[in-house]
A and B are shown apart, each in its own frame.
Chain A
Amino acid sequence: MRISVSVLSAALLAASVAAAAGDAYRGPLTLRLSTAQYRQIIGDVFGPTIKAGGRFEPDIRYKGLLQVGAGRVSVTASGIEQYDASARKIAEQVVSKENRDTLIPCKPQSADAPDDACARAFFAATGRLLYRRPLQADELDRRVAIAAASTKTMKDFYTGLATGLSTMLVAPNFLFRQENAEPDPAHPGQYRLDVYSKAAKLSFFLWNAGPDAKLLAAAESGELNTPKGLAKQVDRLLASPRLEAGVRAYFSDMFGFNELAYLGKDAALYPNFTVQVTADAQEQTLRTLIDLLLNQKGDYRDLFTVRKTFLTPILGSVYGVPVVAPDGGWTPYTYPENDPHSGVTMQVSFLALHSHPGRTSPTLRGKALREMVLCQRVPDPPGNVNFTVVQDTANPLYKTARERLNAHATEAMCTGCHKITDPMGLAMENFDTAGSFRQHENGVAIDARGELDGVKFSDGPGLNRALHDSPRTPACLVERLTAYAKGRALVPDESTVTKGFELDFAAAKYRLPDLMRKIATSDALYAVTPPQVANALPTEIAK
């Protein structure tokens, strides 16, 4: 039975709305820092000489984004050991003989006795950056007291200071971005984030880092609560070179690059697919998109057709392109018009990630395009699938992935979903599981025809153009970037907000920084409902 494309699209759209319907919460959030954010903050606060090593708890993806999953994770028993070890290592470096003179604003009166004034000055200045707000009096007092007690025990002022610092680095106020709500004077009866939560939201969105001193000052003075003050800070953050880190963080999240860490290809079949290939592949895509979206101020849709990229010699060997880079580093490279390698989703970071270890998967690739680029949810496979018609690469009857999938998709219950994913994925079949170009599979010429929502194409470049032209492509970026900025899944009625952003995005010729400015200056980003504060804490477990 043939299912019409329009029915399928409607089903996909309905699925993407329904997926969000379960998440009605729109109060202030408590988001665990990602590993990258943690490291960035440590670097920002203490400088590049302080190393924040170690491995933290894995971030969890939810509704397409790790940044949304950050509102659903906590810290497990093994996780806190890691945070604690890291906190002590960082504190030790900060107070070390090499660093103390530059990182600590005062000198103690005696090296082996408490100096509360000096400790207080250090904790107040550092704590403000770590907690993204000024420390409350009791928070500060406790640090000063533990530093003094520790100094007395260990007979060393700096050891005491390190103890106090480590209590901040392991505290939930640092490890979690806790947002607070306050009544919104501009809209009586409604709530907004308080000004420090607002500053943090802004800087994590645009820089993937905590607020810097200027942003905190704008928060402290209340300037950030005025439209003009907000616009000024947004412009400043957008103009900063640090925007690149923010854009890299967003696209790494959107394209699921955290999964690349676990990617391996069958060593016997793809001996050249090393860890270095995976690392370079991720960097290639990020360099490509930073160049297009920030340096060239290009059209977001061109990401799927872009010919200019950056390669290393090792990537050159995967793509079959001679790369001359005497230092083994990066060099720009522009593919000819209509080259099958155009577009970021025809790069190794996408092709290899959405494949099996030993062979391609048009289904996984198509599913990933649907979910990551078009924000459509592909349903889970049914439980009782009959796989008697198999995908066996050695089966003499079915030599290509298309033949195997066609045979499999004769099963009525499979047809529906495979029609959603496979026609896109099959257009990528000219790339093997490691991302290298090929024209044959098992001696049979690859037929890379495909279709996306009624648009037919004969090969990969055709798919790229269809992605470029699909109205879902920019709409999806708007929706996902808004969810990313907010740190939670969007609620269905927020589609009116994203629809407005979409119009502005189109008017701005799909330039990413303009979209980021629109989101960052909108009331919608900072609007919250008051938290449902329960009357009492849950049963105290503390004994």
Chain B
Amino acid sequence: MSHVSDLGRRRVLQGMLGGSAVTVGLPFLNGFLNSHGTALADGAQLPVSFATWFWGCGLNPGRWEPGQIGKFADLGPELKPLEAFKAKMNVYSGMKAFVDGKPFITHFSGAQAILTGSVPRAREFAQPSIDTLIADVIGTRTRFRSIEVACEGIATHSQSMRAGALVNPGEISPVALYGRIFGTGFKDPNAAEFTPDPAVMVRKSALSVVAEERQAFMNKLGAEDKQRLDEYFTSLRQLEQQLALELEKPAPLEACSVPGAVEEARPSTEIETAAINHALFAKLLTHALACGQTRVVNIVFGDALSTLRKAGGTQTHHEYTHEEPVDPKLGYQPEVAWFCTEIMRNLGVFLAELERIKEGDRTLLDRMLVLTGTDHGYAKIHSVENMPVMTIGNAGGRFKTGLHISAKGDPVSRVGLTVQQALGLPISTWGNDSMQTTKTITEIIA
């Protein structure tokens, strides 16, 4: 800002915006971690972070569950790509979606059951997804409440939603996402110098003008529109807060580094291309988490009704699940199994990125909780029984790991309930109708 370069900082702050109140955050004085990497040396805990990782069409029953219940040694063949993480993950089998008397919507009801704890009555996002509930608690002091990405290049492929059909669209461009996170608004937590930018203060004041008009705007609305437009004003507040954070010196984070420039994605439902896009996003999101820019990320590797296909192949993963015969010798659908294994390999790519970030003698993955989501237990017959669910990471010591929890037809909402409780959400029940549960999975609570 050449206009103000000749002014002393103090004078700028005093004179800014006709004397409106200005706060400049005090710098964190001590940025070193304790020896375990669990806390900053001043005692503040490194914050727990959360991720969802979604793919469509589930896994083949009998081919993913660990061989043992409780502490397990062997993962099923389709989870083999996650072998390196088995000590840090939990696998949940025997969990199901209860449809009750509601219309069963294939590739939708089951995904909603895992991520919202509820099966809706129609193809509508009636309930908020778990990531938004968690972000509203742990994501309120970061620049981004959450970040969503869609690896097939279709922004509507997002499983992150707030009640009332409000879907957080997925970012489809790694270059755009890089700009959002590490562009002009990014304040390097480890930078020695910090100067608040008066232009940012001006922008923040400008947004507050809009926020002041909330009441006048909302007064004219009917009840449903009020809820919908309330989301607009919540988003506006998030943006104001983003700017407020840009005016504060951030706490140093030793593990934070800015990734080099990224290449652009090529939108495609070819699984090979989706994998390349996913790897680009995985790196960016990991750096965003390490740099404290967000605490909640949501990755859709492939949407429900998996339209992923091999390059040169005429059939999608979804079509294979229904149309490929079960190989009588193998006892499963070999092409489908190939897709399942390949998808899990990609989940491994994301986990490896998180694991690569060292924080003391631990890794970023250790203070994460990654929850997987999918739409079916056995896509071939649209079954929502025995849905494959995993959590990876111990949420900063809140979760025991390396366990196979085998339920006997419990609602899959039990996993979400337990995850929310571990992350500090004050809830004792989650889900609707037969999906409603109060049963925390106590075995995994540390």
- Name the one of A142, A175, A268, A390 contacting B312, with C-beta atoms under 8 angstroms: A268
Is the Cβ of B235 less than 8 Å from the Cβ of A176? Answer: no
Please name the 5 residue pairs, one residue from A and one from B, whose CB atoms are nearest each other, closest first.
A358-B314, A268-B312, A387-B322, A74-B231, A390-B323
The residue of chain A having its C-beta at the shortest distance from the C-beta of B176 within the complex is A55
Is the Cβ of A150 less than 8 Å from the Cβ of B202? Answer: yes
The residue of chain B having its C-beta at the shortest distance from the C-beta of A56 within the complex is B169
Is the Cβ of A269 less than 8 Å from the Cβ of B229? Answer: no
- Name the one of A155, A176, A391 contacting B323, with C-beta atoms under 8 angstroms: A391
User: Is B100 positioned at the interface, with any CB of A under 8 Å from its CB?
Assistant: no
The residue of chain A having its C-beta at the shortest distance from the C-beta of B103 within the complex is A380
Provide a sorted-by-A list of 12 A–B residue pairs whose CB atoms are within 8 angstroms. Answer: A30-B228, A81-B242, A88-B203, A149-B205, A152-B17, A167-B209, A178-B217, A178-B221, A267-B312, A358-B309, A385-B382, A532-B223
Is the Cβ of A149 less than 8 Å from the Cβ of B222? Answer: no
Which A145-170 residues have a C-beta within 8 angstroms of B? 146, 148-150, 152-156, 159, 163-164, 166-167, 170
Is the Cβ of A541 less than 8 Å from the Cβ of B234? Answer: yes
Contact A380/B105 with A155-B3, A393-B314 known, Cβ cut-off 8 Å: yes
Which A267-290 residues have a C-beta within 8 angstroms of B? 267-269
What distance in Å separates the Cβ of B97 from its nearest Cβ neighbour in chain A? 11
- Name the one of B166, B209, B315 contacting A146, with C-beta atoms under 8 angstroms: B209
Residues of B within 8 A of A384 (CB): 381-382
CA–CA, A88 to B313, complex, Å? 45
User: Is B260 positioned at the interface, with any CB of A under 8 Å from its CB?
Assistant: no
- One digit per residue, 1 when the CB lies within 8 angstroms of any chain A CB and 0 when it does not, for chain B 3-33 equals 1100000001001111010000000000000
Chain A: residues with CB nearer than 8 A to chain B? 22, 25, 27-30, 55, 57-58, 60, 72-81, 84, 88, 138-139, 142-143, 146, 148-150, 152-156, 159, 163-164, 166-167, 170-173, 175-176, 178, 180, 262, 264, 266-269, 356-359, 380-381, 383-388, 390-393, 531-534, 537-538, 541-542
User: Is B433 positioned at the interface, with any CB of A under 8 Å from its CB?
Assistant: no
Is the Cβ of A268 less than 8 Å from the Cβ of B226? Answer: no
Is the Cβ of A538 less than 8 Å from the Cβ of B230? Answer: yes
Is the Cβ of A358 less than 8 Å from the Cβ of B313? Answer: yes
- Name the one of B12, B268, B319 contacting A391, with C-beta atoms under 8 angstroms: B319
Is the Cβ of B180 less than 8 Å from the Cβ of A81? Answer: yes
The residue of chain A having its C-beta at the shortest distance from the C-beta of B239 within the complex is A80
Residues of B within 8 A of A73 (CB): 165-166, 228
Chain B: residues with CB nearer than 8 A to chain A? 1, 3-4, 12, 15-18, 20, 103-106, 122-123, 144-148, 153-156, 162, 164-169, 171, 173, 176, 180, 198-199, 201-203, 205-207, 209-239, 242, 267-270, 307, 309, 311-316, 319, 322-325, 380-382
Number of A-B contacts (CB under 8 A): 232
What distance in Å separates the Cβ of A206 from its nearest Cβ neighbour in chain B? 25
What distance in Å separates the Cβ of B287 from its nearest Cβ neighbour in chain A? 18
CA–CA, A432 to B168, complex, Å? 36
CA–CA, A167 to B103, complex, Å? 45
- Name the one of A28, A268, A385 contacting B311, with C-beta atoms under 8 angstroms: A268
What distance in Å separates the Cβ of B118 from its nearest Cβ neighbour in chain A? 17
CA–CA, A159 to B311, complex, Å? 51
Is the Cβ of B229 less than 8 Å from the Cβ of A172? Answer: yes
Is the Cβ of A77 less than 8 Å from the Cβ of B176? Answer: no
Contact A262/B153 with A356-B316, A537-B215, A537-B226 known, Cβ cut-off 8 Å: yes
Contact A146/B323 with A73-B166, A357-B269, A532-B223 known, Cβ cut-off 8 Å: no
Contact A534/B323 with A74-B229, A75-B232 known, Cβ cut-off 8 Å: no
Contact A72/B228 with A79-B169, A173-B217 known, Cβ cut-off 8 Å: yes
Is the Cβ of B224 less than 8 Å from the Cβ of A25? Answer: yes
What distance in Å separates the Cβ of A235 from its nearest Cβ neighbour in chain B? 31
Is the Cβ of B236 less than 8 Å from the Cβ of A80? Answer: yes
Q: Which of A22, A57, A356, A383 has the most CB of B within 10 A?
A: A383
What distance in Å separates the Cβ of B117 from its nearest Cβ neighbour in chain A? 20
What distance in Å separates the Cβ of B305 from its nearest Cβ neighbour in chain A? 11
Residues of B within 8 A of A155 (CB): 3-4
Residues of A within 8 A of B234 (CB): 77, 541
Contact A266/B309 with A79-B169, A390-B324 known, Cβ cut-off 8 Å: yes
CA–CA, A171 to B207, complex, Å? 9
Residues of A within 8 A of B1 (CB): 154
CA–CA, A156 to B4, complex, Å? 11
Contact A76/B217 with A176-B229, A268-B312 known, Cβ cut-off 8 Å: no
CA–CA, A387 to B12, complex, Å? 71
CA–CA, A74 to B227, complex, Å? 9
What distance in Å separates the Cβ of A89 from its nearest Cβ neighbour in chain B? 13
Contact A74/B146 with A153-B16, A381-B106, A390-B323 known, Cβ cut-off 8 Å: no
Q: A77-B168, A391-B323 are in contact. List 5 more A-B contacts (CB 8 A).
A: A146-B205, A170-B207, A172-B233, A269-B312, A534-B226
Q: Which of A78, A164, A359, A383 has the most CB of B within 10 A?
A: A78
Residues of A within 8 A of B17 (CB): 149-150, 152-153
